[in-house]
Copies of this chain bind each other. A is one copy, B any other.
Amino acid sequence: MVSTAEALARRRQRTELRRDQVLDAAERCFRAEGFHGASMSRIAAAADMSVGHIYRYFENKEAIIIALCERSFSGFELLIPAAADDDAPPGAAFIEAWIAQFVWWVDPVRAPLTLEIMAEAGRNAKVAEVVGRIDRRFREIMRRSLLPLSGPIPGDEIDDRLEAIVMLSHGMTSRITADPKAEPDRIIAAFRLAVHRLLATG
């Protein structure tokens, strides 16, 4: 029946809404207290939901962490193609646009969570896998869309240059989180300079 299909869709959508409601709350809590410091009851309170109800949408606390990691990066994952698929704009301007996307990494609200995720990835295989997936995707996109716009680069240097850009982006997260006085603008400026030098010929 159509009505059943519709009902199912509506239910599915509502479930998605609830999950987001939990993830929003968890994000706030994890940011302030870390994965291990945040408690389910505090997350529940932040989500305006009962503790028990959360367990209808997530098997346990770890599942929330994993889901949050995925959602956290999906925001970034959407940005990259947005810049990449703007088919072939004039080189320099595109690189500039591409760099601008990285303001995302440097958001002082988001960075601590990203860093927490990286640290957790060191001990939690599932988190490591999520991080690995986005990392591979990030490199692939760079290779496909960023590289063509750079000057000619010696083949044996390509991987190192891309790796350096990845490292820079991770480094931004660290800097923003660990140094409360770091200014996002200055961090981005340093990133821009470094990316330009890494994509330059010679």
Q: Which of A155-171 touch B at CB < 8 Å?
A: 157, 159-161, 163-164, 166-171
Q: Which residues of B contact A31 (CB under 8 A)?
A: 122
Determine the main DSSP class of A at the interface with B: helix
A132-B179, A161-B190, A171-B174 given; A119·B121 CB < 8 A: no
Copies in the complex: 4
Closest Cβ–Cβ distance, residue A102 to chain B (whole Å): 11
A119-B119, A120-B34, A128-B179 given; A193·B174 CB < 8 A: no
A111, A121, A197, A200 — most chain B CB neighbours (10 Å):
A197
Number of interface residues of A (CB under 8 A): 52
A187 to B174 alpha-carbon distance, docked (Å): 17
A175-202 CB mask vs B (1 if < 8 Å, else 0) is 1011111000011011101100110100
- Indicate if the CB atoms of B186 and A33 lie closer than 8 Å: no
- Indicate if the CB atoms of B116 and A177 lie closer than 8 Å: no
The 5 lowest CB-CB distance pairs between A and B, nearest first, are A167-B171, A171-B171, A170-B174, A163-B190, A36-B36
